[in-house]
């Protein structure tokens, strides 16, 4: 991080929404939260209400919330509604024909496994590896309420005895396996630990216990920034279908922040069969030729 980014972060902290608390800390204040932390510019930004999210647990809780909403609305004379979870392997969009009125594709990097759209989406794939670390002994734990850290490498706190450090960026990879080889883990350690230790030096003494990986599906770069890919793709895939197919992807690192709003837009568009519900900036990707 350089001084230009610090200035930008400082401006953002001063102009953020009132419901989003961001506190600027000097070195002494930061030491009170995390003894031993180093601040290159004597500045850190602390979000007291920030959370680490486990994606699997979050999605399970989100589905339970949807189930509760369906039960509640059905009991209030809004007409009977039904929500079902079906888990099965799908090899192509044609398998949905005649069974569904609308299908929303939200497969992330796996969207390219569907033959109808394989190689036609302007997504930039990128594999990332994260490390799991434990303290070297029982006397050297992370502070119980110590914050996670976002810097050149991020440190996500699972518990006082478990830290995740990430992430690497291997552009154009198509390897979606969560398994990490010994060689790949070694390279990730050599890349990530020096970055993490510039902020939290004690992490150099922590013990590596494993690594896992994932494949990102990043949206294309445009003059407006990296915008998600939304919209109906029936014309895009080039055939007449009895079912309407919609794409919901390319959310990138802001997916957790925007998925609720974008999901709501996509649901309204699918129910009304009207793509104009979605801002045109988010459907303009169909005019982009993917580059490989």
Q: Measure the CA–CA gap between 174 and 108, rounded to whole angstroms.
A: 12
> Can you say whether residue 15 is alpha, beta or left, with left for phi > 0 and alpha for psi between -120 and 50 degrees?
alpha
- Each residue's pLDDT tens digit, 104-120: 999 999 998 899 998 88
Cβ neighbours for 251, distance < 8 A, ≥ 6 positions apart:
219, 228, 258, 259, 262
* CA-to-CA dists, residue 13 to 6, 23, 39, 122, angstroms: 10, 7, 17, 33
As given in the structure block, the two tokens for residue 252 are 């990138």
CB environment 38-58: b (16+ within 10 A), e (fewer)? bbeeebbbbeeeeeeeeeeee
As a whole number, mean pLDDT of residues 14-21 equals 79
What are the phi and psi torsion angles at 54 (to 5°)? Answer: -85, 110
Calculate mean pLDDT across residues 199-209. 96
pTM: 0.85
- Work out the pLDDT band at 227, boundaries 50, 70, 90: very high
74 phi/psi in degrees, rounded to 5: -70, -30
Tell me the pLDDT tens digit for each residue of 2-17. 777 778 877 877 777 7
Q: Which one is predicted more confidently, 291 or 103?
A: 103
Q: With pLDDT > 90 as the criterion, what percentage of the chain qualifies?
A: 59
- Residue 94, classified by CB atoms within 10 Å of its CB into exposed (0-12), middle (13-18) or buried (19+), is middle
Q: Kindly state the average pLDDT of the residues 87-97.
A: 88
Q: Under DSSP, is residue 232 helix (H, G, I), strand (E, B) or coil? A: strand
Which distant-in-sequence residues (6+ apart) come within 8 Å of 1 by Cβ?
40, 41, 151, 152
Whole-number Cα distances in Å, 267 to 70, 98, 225, 247, 277: 15, 20, 24, 11, 10
Task: Identify the residue with better confidence: 265 or 17.
Answer: 265
Check residue 88 and give its pLDDT. 87
User: Does the pLDDT at position 292 exceed 50?
Assistant: no
Phi-psi region at 108: left, alpha or beta (left = phi > 0; alpha = psi -120 to 50): left
**Best CA proximity match to 268, nearest among 257, 258, 279:** 279
Q: Name the pLDDT band for 27 (thresholds 50, 70, 90).
A: very high
Q: How far apart are CA 197 and CA 226, in angstroms?
A: 30
């Amino acid at each position: 991080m350089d001084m230009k980014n610090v200035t930008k972060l400082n401006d953002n902290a001063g102009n953020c929404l009132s419901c989003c608390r961001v506190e600027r800390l000097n070195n002494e204040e930061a030491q009170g939260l995390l003894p031993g932390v180093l601040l290159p510019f004597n500045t850190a930004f602390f979000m007291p209400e920030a959370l680490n999210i486990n994606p699997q647990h979050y999605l399970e809780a989100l589905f339970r919330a949807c189930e509760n909403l369906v039960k509640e609305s059905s009991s209030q004379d809004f007409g009977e509604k039904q929500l079902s979870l079906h888990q099965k392997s799908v090899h192509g969009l044609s398998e949905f024909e005649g069974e569904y009125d609308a299908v929303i594709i939200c497969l992330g990097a796996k969207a390219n496994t569907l033959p109808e759209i394989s190689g036609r989406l302007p997504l930039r794939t990128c594999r990332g590896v994260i490390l799991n670390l434990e303290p070297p002994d029982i006397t050297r734990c992370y502070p119980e309420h110590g914050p996670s850290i976002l810097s050149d490498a991020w440190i996500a706190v699972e518990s006082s005895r478990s830290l995740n450090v990430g992430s690497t960026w291997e552009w154009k990879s198509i390897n979606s396996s969560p398994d990490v080889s010994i060689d790949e883990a070694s390279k990730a350690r050599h890349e990530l630990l020096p970055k993490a230790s510039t902020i939290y030096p004690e992490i150099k003494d922590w013990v590596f216990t494993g690594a896992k990986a994932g494949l990102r599906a990043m949206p294309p770069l445009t003059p407006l920034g990296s915008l998600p890919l939304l919209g109906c793709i029936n014309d895009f895939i080039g055939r007449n279908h009895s079912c309407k197919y919609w794409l919901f992807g390319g959310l990138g690192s802001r997916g957790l922040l925007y998925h609720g709003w974008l999901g709501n837009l996509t649901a309204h568009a699918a129910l009304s069969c009207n793509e104009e519900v979605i801002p045109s900036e988010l459907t303009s990707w169909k005019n982009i030729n993917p580059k490989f």
